[in-house]
Amino acid sequence: MIAALVNLAPGVGRTTLAVNLAGELALQGKRVALLDVDGVSGVREWAGMRRRNDLPALFDTVTITSAQLRCGLWGLGTSFDHVVIDTPARSPAAVRAALLAAETVLVPTLPDREAVGRCAATMQLVVEALAAEPMLTASLVLTRAPEGMLVEPGTEAGVLGLRLPVAAAVVRQRLAFATSRSTGLLVPELEMAGRAEADVRGLVSEVFGLGSVSAAG
């Protein structure tokens, strides 16, 4: 499966989530590539921290331009079970390229009305992509959510007349995610992983299936 994480708004935990989704899939034995579109999302810095700390790569990280993304994926389809695409904030070109390449789209957002409102431009691009490609799926993913927040299956969120489903799996505010971001460690590699690891596994299960493999491309 090819999954793209997109949000034009910064500060929503997009790269941290992309890294840990790729890591969880890899720990389940899947062949995974994490694509860093235009090389400005923070993936390279995270991968560099792992190298400096002599930590195993676990999955491939590839820097690719927006213009190369769709064609570049053709060459990855036979080499990987799953491809996760991390896009930079404030780059409509990168988001559009990812939407053309993806099979499913995740829009990470903080769990408050104002933050969802800042997703309007992103949601517009996603809704347009859904209309053009009936096989594409998309959902909002609540990040940095408070403990105890739950999302009922079938929930939707809307802004300016645009509506998207909300993933039932919620990624809550956890110290482990901040530590992962600053150390190059995956959440399961941390002693404090616990509930943060369960959040990531829940989202992997919902988006990619219960450990099932869908070949990229």
Question: Which pLDDT value is given to residue 133?
Answer: 95
Which pLDDT tens digits describe the chain residue by residue (217 residues)? 999 999 999 999 999 999 999 999 999 999 999 999 998 878 989 999 999 989 999 999 999 999 999 888 887 878 999 999 999 999 999 999 999 999 999 999 999 999 999 999 999 999 999 999 999 999 999 999 999 999 999 999 989 899 999 999 999 999 999 999 889 999 999 988 889 999 999 999 999 984 433 333 3
The pLDDT score that the predictor gives to residue 216 is: 38
For residue 211, what pLDDT is reported?
44
Per-residue confidence (pLDDT) for residue 191, from 0 to 100: 83
pLDDT of residue 214: 36
Decide the pairing of beta strands 104-109 and 60-64: unpaired
Give the right CATH number for 2-199 from 2.60.120.20, 3.40.50.1820, 2.160.10.10, 3.40.50.300: 3.40.50.300
Task: List, in order, residues 6 or more apart from 23 with CB less than 8 Å away.
Answer: 58, 59, 186, 187, 188, 200
**Residue 42 pLDDT:** 86
Q: Name all contacts of 96-99 with Cβ < 8 Å and 24+ positions apart.
A: 96/66, 96/125, 96/129, 97/37, 97/66, 97/67, 97/69, 97/70, 98/4, 98/6, 98/37, 98/69, 99/4, 99/6, 99/125, 99/126, 99/129, 99/136
pLDDT of residue 39: 87
Looking at residue 170, its pLDDT comes to 97
- pTM (two decimals): 0.92
Q: DSSP for 46-96?
A: HHHHHHHTT----SEEEEE-TTTHHHHHHHHTTT-SEEEEE--TT-HHHHH
Q: What is the pLDDT of residue 213?
A: 36
Per-residue pLDDT at 217: 36
Q: Supply the pLDDT for residue 90.
A: 93
Per-position DSSP letters for 8-35, written without gaps between them: SSSSSSHHHHHHHHHHHHHHTT--EEEE
